[in-house]
Structure 1
């Protein structure tokens, strides 16, 4: 699970019978956490309410304990129940949607392009935690039709089958192929997008990653290390990729480095990332740092750097996007933008439940602010230009 923008990482493995609450001597710490969570909620661009995760984080307890307290179960101390409910009211958590422990109201379908993206598991976990407060569960459904004559078509038959089975609504992760056909197949069921393109704003509720902030954090970090020759691998395969590449270019412009910015076409796959990385490292103008559309692409660029004999980070800095387990492993240790997946998933689940419950309101759009997690892959600035010119000439 990725760490949220508020700097805390809640645990859901706390024993509910021990209530997971801080001791009485930790009051100041609890207050500080509460303020931090409120600031995090307020930082989102758009109308938002507190999530179950926010309530738990504000008190330094697990989501499981917070939920049991809100349900007034006997194994939670009365004092903690009171504090949890007060926190929920302060953060505007939708208490009206709270369900009993044994209530089962239905199933939500999470529509994805692929099951191979580790970022999806982070989102699904957050979605399930939030849905549990309303007695709902989630199923993850790949929607890309896997037949040769329809290489990028959506499997609308699967979506129609979900409607026939009576799912409450749909959550779309990133941009699905042939979205219009998918929405038509949902037969008017509530539909919410997570981590999708801003081009969908106004069509249905969207909870997006603020990629302009994310790319700005990456470029600011690399420039602070002395990098000016910075490239980006991405911009291909989806509107999200194109918007992320545009955000990189804009961030470079803000640093007056637009003449040094280079976008090498690439999608979200490791194979294409490796090909793009090889192209960047072959020319006479080799960048000193590369940002990538996601963590998987960054792995491809790292492979290209290894094949070309470039040391990371002393000869090439590489950064990813998503802060998935791929970036944080002991082998890779890749600097990455943390999109705050916990909040993205929780807000999306909350929005969908409100729509399922019949809340009539304007279509909402929220841009969740990401944060930057620095690791070994960007731990050094660029080598002096004389050394770099010598290296390119030798190669």
Structure 2
């Protein structure tokens, strides 16, 4: 069983601990939280809540919620009753819970690369949700380079997983050559996480609402007084193009289409640094830059340092993904938090339902992200008269 779901450090929130005196106000707040969660699920078009939804609505960890639903002796009766009531209200599939010692199958998480720190956040939430049904997950890199193609999916690895008897697949972001990938998965269900809109309808998808995410960044920067805002991204994957389009739409909403600039870049630090250098060496230098992900933003920060631009005084920089890179003491990068816990848990639930025989139409959920503001965007643009003049390089 995954230690993510059973850490001994998990504690019951004292607000709903049975040892505390009964408080009608606290009880009312718990009911309100559960009802609010149910309303949010209905708004997303999701029929069943996840283990995380049950836990969050009560202010406890997923591990405590799971132990309560399994009838563990260490959970007091009043707590267990509240967890079960919340689970029933949120339509969590209690009947699919396994005993702690059961192991019914393995799920494969297909990724392009292991270098993306966002993946670790997703994997943790996926494993917590799968633990409830006695399943575990393995992470499998699928990117293979061959002479004939710049990038190709390792379909041999996927076929071998099918032969080994995996229950199904969770795909993080878009994989190369999806037709071949789907053929390799055979009759096993596949769920897309954080993938592009172009796969909606082909299989169940749980996506980041990038229109909301880029909108949050642009709204934040415009609120600080920035107008000349650029975006680094738009190439290398359909998701990158969609985020660039979302940036343009957000700028248009503020009447800034004429100054919205997209500098081509993918999801790598090296390309981010090159794109940042191009933005900062021209005759028209932006005062703020949003990026396709946090790794790209780190590249832009490097370009700013090399060009002698102070961040955020002369250049505000924002990332996407809210990874450990963004929160590091060196970067202190404003970033969009994609709500990885929600993405991973919901995708895991969809897969368990498909494995259990659900044959309904394909589902698509766009999870709303939030913005985490840090030092990299803590200042508005300098007045024109105090900006340093940059010499355009031929």
TM-score under structure 2 length normalisation? 0.93
Distance 2:67 2:310 in 1: 50
Alignment partners' CA distance in 1, 2:371 and 2:95: 35
Q: 1:12 to 1:269 in 2, by over 3 A?
A: farther
Describe the SS at the equivalent of 2:113. Answer: coil
Give the equivalent residue in structure 2 for 1:108: 107
8 Å CA contact retained: 1:11, 1:61 = no
The CA deviation at 1:43 is 4.7
Question: What value does the CA root-mean-square deviation take over the aligned residues?
Answer: 1.9
CA contact (8 A) 2:5 2:131 kept: no
Preserved contact between residue 334 and residue 377 of structure 2 (Cα < 8 Å): yes
Q: CA contact under 8 A between 2:332 and 2:376: conserved in structure 1? A: yes
Structure 2 residue runs of 5 or longer lacking an equivalent are: none
- Once the two structures are TM-superposed, the CA of residue 385 in structure 1 deviates from its matched residue by 1.2
Deviation at 1:11, TM superposition (A): 9.2
Q: CA deviation at 1:95?
A: 1.7
Alignment partner, residue 30 of structure 2: 30
Query: 1:280 — aligned with what?
Result: 279
Following the alignment from structure 1 to structure 2, what is the Cα–Cα distance between the partners of residues 48 and 214?
24
Q: Does 1:355 align with 2:354?
A: yes
Specify which of 366, 375, 389 is matched with residue 391 of structure 1: 389
Q: CA deviation at 1:40?
A: 4.3
Q: Secondary structure at the match of 1:336?
A: strand
2:227 maps to 1:228: yes
Q: Is the 8 A contact 2:283 2:392 kept in 1?
A: no
Larger mean CA deviation between 95-104 and 114-123 belongs to: 95-104
> After superposition, what is the alpha-carbon deviation per residue over 1:186-239, rounded to whole angstroms, capped at 9, x for unaligned?
012101100000100110000000000101111000000000000000001000
| Cα displacement (A) at 1:103 | 1.4
1:88 aligns to what? 87
Residues 48 and 302 of structure 1: CA distance in aligned 2, closer, same or farther (over 3 Å): farther
The 2-side partners of 1:172 and 1:253 are apart by 33
Asked if structure 2 preserves the Cα contact closer than 8 Å seen for 1:339 and 1:369, the reply is yes
Deviation at 1:100, TM superposition (A): 1.4
Instruction: Please list the CA deviations of residues 102-150 of structure 1 after superposition, one character each: whole Å capped at 9, or x if unmatched.
Output: 1111000000000000000000100000000100000000001144444
Partner in structure 2 of residue 3 of structure 1: none
Give the alignment of 1:141-160 within 5 angstroms.
Answer: 141-160=140-159
In the other structure, the counterpart of 1:313 is 312
Distance 1:251 1:19 in 2: 42
- Matched with 2:256 is 257
Which residues of structure 1 form unaligned runs of 5+? Answer: 1-9
How many residue pairs align between the two structures? Answer: 383
Q: Distance in 2 between matches of 1:21 and 1:348?
A: 30
**Contact 2:273/2:301 (8 A) holds in 1:** yes
User: Hey, what does 1:293 align to over in structure 2?
Assistant: 292
- The within-5 A match list for 1:234-245 is 234-245=233-244
Q: Distance in 1 between matches of 2:47 and 2:374?
A: 31
Q: 1:320 to 1:177 in 2, by over 3 A?
A: same
- SS of alignment partner, residue 273 of structure 1: helix
Sort the Cα spacing of 1:250 and 1:166 in 2 relative to 1 into closer, same or farther, 3 A: same
Q: Which residue of 2 aligns with 1:205?
A: 204
| Counterpart-to-counterpart distance in 2, 1:49 and 1:305 | 46
Q: Which residue of 1 aligns with 2:322?
A: 323
Distance 2:250 2:35 in 1: 30
Match of 1:193?
192
Write the distance in 1 (CA, Å) between the matches of 2:308 and 2:147.
38
Is the contact between residue 43 and residue 369 of structure 1 (CA under 8 Å) also seen in structure 2? no
Contact 1:53/1:346 (<8 A) preserved: yes
User: 4+ residue stretches of structure 1 with deviation over 2 A?
Assistant: 10-16, 18-44, 46-49, 146-151, 390-395
Structure 2 vs 1, CA of residues 39 and 13 (structure 1 numbering), >3 Å: closer, same or farther?
A: farther
**Structure 2 counterpart SS, 1:172:** strand
**SS at structure 1 position matched to 2:151:** coil
Partners of 2:43 and 2:293 in 1: how far apart? Answer: 23
Mark the CA change 1:279 to 1:383 in structure 2 (over 3 Å): closer, same or farther: same
After superposition, the Cα gap between the structure-2 partners of 1:13 and 1:39, relative to the gap in structure 1 and judged at 3 Å, is farther
| C-alpha distance in structure 2 between counterparts of 1:394 and 1:163, whole Å | 56
Q: CA 1:294/1:81 → structure 2, altered by over 3 Å: closer, same or farther?
A: same
